[in-house]
Homo-oligomer: A and B are copies of this chain.
């Protein structure tokens, strides 16, 4: 898989060498609508899963195999994920032939890591050799360093170098994700030359979507969709068909930024370049969709303090990532408690204050979370930048004032009816103050974290809640004292 780095000769079509992977075509059923096994949401039917489980429990290995055999590799991976560890290993043993590299590539990271750790290094190396470089890197990068070394030692030198090169890029960058298999040709080559070359070529990637045109130093000068090649007469030079304008992805670019570039420019595939501007790989959008999905989905998890939030994460890791935020929340709850404690005498005089105060805090917290969720999403999508922060802050403040006024009227009237008009006025005013505060904090806290180069999704929630809880209790109890209903 290592890439040939010498300059191109003039009439040579240069091709990045191939991995041995190759999709195993042909043997699959005619199409993917499988009513017996899949439900209408395209997930495995519970009845099917139970029948596999029953066959496993009964030790009927042949029956298990026959049940699983018609599944798409992605569904075999799903099936493995549905089982508990022990059963999963039994299942894997029963369907060894079906445990193709495609299944392994489709497995959830945690499940794959757990399954790989249970295998000897030689077997993992065999699997890694069948994978494309990018999938092999994913397989290996999460393992312990000792395991990594053991597996790398078992690999072919060529594969080893390719994987080591990929591992030399920081985690979660284009260099880790890119495929080192691509087709690159010099500018003067004609359409006919390239078709002839492709027809006889051995070392071709299985699938490719564009042909990159490079200069003698492997710097990209243009790109050619295969459809343009197919519709162009043989004698036309590629340089006349190609598009010069192309999006180049630096190999050290963070995967989140790569995902945003693919989205923004509607890319299907793109060239990856090293620090010297030389073509070193390509990324196709199918490598990036799971990252788009992960990056977009993780904000909900991060804001709640659930860390990776994967249901396959080992319990120990889930505990340690979540408890951290609960302890942080304990700290912020303490601040709110201290504020309440300042007004202990007031509460003793009028216990209604204790009954009503959580309402002010709770609504403020919810309003703050709404604004924060909107802000975090806008930051993640590069929609909220320094150029429009002021405008968005004003917008959110307006929404907050409308929300605050609405809730204040409802709560104020109800409180006036049940308790006293003065207490109604106090809670209404406290509510407006707190919801307005929530609107400002919901924008300013994530923006501040962003400017400090921190992920705004991670810590904003704790701060916003602290601000709205504290302000809720302080405004309500403070106004109660100021209004003279109670004395401090």
Q: Could you list which residues of chain A lie within 8 angstroms of chain B, going by C-beta atoms? A: 25-26, 28-33, 41-44, 46, 49-50, 72, 74, 78, 81-82, 84, 106, 108, 194-195, 198-199, 201, 204-209, 225-227, 229-233, 243-248, 257, 260-268, 284-286, 288-290, 292-294, 296-297, 299-301, 303-306, 309-312, 315, 318-319, 322-323, 325-327, 329-330, 332-334, 336-337, 340-341, 344, 347-348, 351, 354-359, 361-363, 366-367, 369-378, 380-388, 391-392, 395, 398-399, 402-403, 406-407, 410-411, 435, 465, 469, 473
B301 adjacent to A377 (CB under 8 Å): yes
Chain B residues lying within 8 Å of A293, measured Cβ to Cβ, are 263, 292-293, 296, 381
Top-7 shortest CB links A-B: A300-B300, A296-B296, A226-B226, A296-B297, A304-B373, A354-B354, A306-B370
Q: Which of B82, B205, B327, B374 contacts A385 (CB 8 A)?
A: B82
A208-B233 contact, Cβ under 8 Å, with A268-B286, A300-B373, A359-B333: no
Q: How many copies does the complex hold?
A: 2
A84 adjacent to B391 (CB under 8 Å): yes
Bound: A399/B375 CA distance, A: 30
Q: Smallest CB-CB separation from A321: which chain B residue?
A: B370
Bound: A243/B362 CA distance, A: 57
Interface of A (DSSP majority class)? helix
Tell me, rounded to whole Å, the shortest Cβ–Cβ distance linking A279 to chain B: 13
Tell me, rounded to whole Å, the shortest Cβ–Cβ distance linking A50 to chain B: 8
Q: Which of B304, B327, B374, B406 contacts A370 (CB 8 A)?
A: B304
Q: Which of B330, B341, B402 contacts A323 (CB 8 A)?
A: B402
Q: Smallest CB-CB separation from A368: which chain B residue?
A: B304
B226 adjacent to A301 (CB under 8 Å): no
